[in-house]
Amino acid sequence: MTPKFLPDDVPNLTGKVAIVTGPKRGLGLETVHLLARRGCTVYLAGRGDLVQTIADLKKARPDVANAELYPLELDLSSITTAAAAADRFPGERLDIVIANAGISMNNSVAPSPEGWEHHFQTNHLGHFAFIEGLLPLLVESPEARIVVTSSEAYKFATKGIDFDSLRKDVDPSLLGLMGCMKRYGQSKLANTLYVRELQRRLLEKGVKNVYVNAANPGVIASTGLGGDGSQFGLPKFVPVALRKVGGALIGFNLQGGAMTQVWAATARNIVDEDIRGQYIMPAMGWSGGYHHSKVADPLDHAKDDEAAKKLWEVSVKAVTEAEAKAGHGGLN
């Protein structure tokens, strides 16, 4: 039987440096705590008053009262702002990036500043630009991990990513709900395909010390995602109730939800078993709750290497054009 993976089983991370995106609440904040309590220096990458977030975390969790936690302003809603955040990273070492931030059920009509649908922009393109800017540091690490938070929502996009649709206007009414779920699913499919292609390209260049994987946290009662229903004209209590009931019956608490991406970012199994470009999921114990994490076999459309290459090409083009328009150098 696979042994249970507990917070104390996270290896000693003293001397290692990590970035966690979306750190202000939910899975991101819990992930910061799980890393910091094992000695990791963590940069909290997001928007808002991150200094206050750090102060509140240290007050609420005495085991990280003396941890090295630092803010890093990151806005994933635009390619140029995401790329700029990577340029501003002040560290001289980087071992772990956990691309945890994301949005779901966002029915905003207006596209991103560069003209992309918001789920694809925030959940994929923003992280793509951010991570690309950090790769030179990650490659210099003795052993680096990149973990991109995905989800089973990739199954909403069984026909793959419709890139043309990501440039079209969004239906803001309740009738747009199914389309919204598809767009969110496409962004989660993009996360899963991206790690496959990034890992392939790194290995092709002879870079063997960077392990890239996607992590599905499982069903969580409260992640901060999904909105309150008002974007579709629904009463606020409806999605809240559905998340709580679903999380209670088949899901995990925040710590349990964060454990899979922490496992992917720290566990020795990743290196010992050469786990690369994979889709990792949590497993429940017999009494419920998180028990351990494991490599899963996603559906075929999430393993489509040609689709992954197309996604990469579209992403590079999007970042290059955005950076050129902003007067920056773009990708190497």
Annotation marks residue 211 as catalytic: no
What's the rounded mean pLDDT across residues 39-48? 98
Amino acid 168: pLDDT? 78
**How far is residue 159 CA from its own chain's centroid?**
22
Q: What is the mean pLDDT of residues 169-191?
A: 80
- The whole-number pLDDT of residue 326 equals 87
Which member of 24, 154, 188, 290 is catalytic? 188
> Is 188 part of the annotated catalytic residue set?
yes
Provide φ and ψ at 44, rounded to 5°: -90, 110
Residue 184 and residue 119 in contact, taking contact as beta carbons nearer than 8 Å: yes
List the alpha helices (DSSP H) in 38-176.
50-60, 79-88, 118-119, 126-140
Report H helices in 95-208.
118-119, 126-140, 177-204
| Parallel, antiparallel or unpaired: strands 17-21 and 41-46 | parallel
Q: Read out DSSP for 178-203?
A: HHHHHHHHHHHHHHHHHHHHHHHHHH
| 6-10, 32-36, 55-59, 178-182: least confidently modelled range | 178-182
CA separation for the pair 131, 114 (Å, rounded)? 18
Q: Summarize the confidence of residues 194-199 as an average pLDDT.
A: 98
pLDDT at 173: 61
CA dist 176 and 232 (Å) reads 8
The pLDDT value recorded for residue 172 is 64
**170 compared with 195, residue with greater pLDDT:** 195
Give the model's pLDDT for residue 97: 99
Work out the average pLDDT over 227-252: 49
For 5, the token pair is 């993976």
DSSP H or E stretch at residue 29: helix 26-36
pLDDT tens figures, 114-132: 999 999 999 999 999 999 9
Helix-then-strand count for the chain, H and E: 10, 8
Give the CATH H-level superfamily of domain 7-321.
NAD(P)-binding Rossmann-like Domain (3.40.50.720)
Rounded CA-CA distance 244/233 in Å is: 20
Model confidence at 245, pLDDT cuts 50, 70, 90, reads: very low
Please indicate whether residue 262 or residue 242 has the higher confidence score (pLDDT). Answer: 262
Q: What is the DSSP letter of 214?
A: E
Find the catalytic residue in 43, 184, 279, 290. 184
| Strand pairing report for 69-73 and 17-21 | unpaired
Angle at the Cα of 77 from the Cα atoms of 23 and 18, rounded to 5 degrees? 35
Q: How many of the other CB atoms lie within 10 Å of CB of 326? A: 17
How far apart, in Å, are the Cα atoms of 111 and each of 106, 190, 287? 11, 18, 44
What is the overall mean pLDDT for the chain? 90
Residue-wise pLDDT tens digits, 265-322: 999 999 999 999 999 999 998 878 999 999 999 999 999 999 999 999 999 999 999 9
**pLDDT band at 103; cut points 50, 70, 90:** very high
Position 108 pLDDT exceeds 90:
no
In this structure, the strands spanning 41-46 and 69-73 are: parallel
Categorize the per-residue pLDDT at 242 as very low, low, confident or very high, splitting at 50, 70 and 90.
Answer: very low
Higher pLDDT, 207 or 106: 207
- 229 pLDDT band (50/70/90 cuts)? very low
* Domain range list for the chain: 7-321
Res 223 pLDDT > 90: no
Whole-number pLDDT of residue 231 = 42
What DSSP designation does 122 have?
I
Of 34, 86, 7, 111, residue with least CA distance to 323 = 86
User: Which amino acid does the sequence have at 52?
Assistant: Q
pLDDT at res. 237: 45
56/237: higher pLDDT: 56
CA 220/CA 197 separation, integer angstroms: 28
Per-residue pLDDT band at 182 (split at 50, 70, 90) = confident
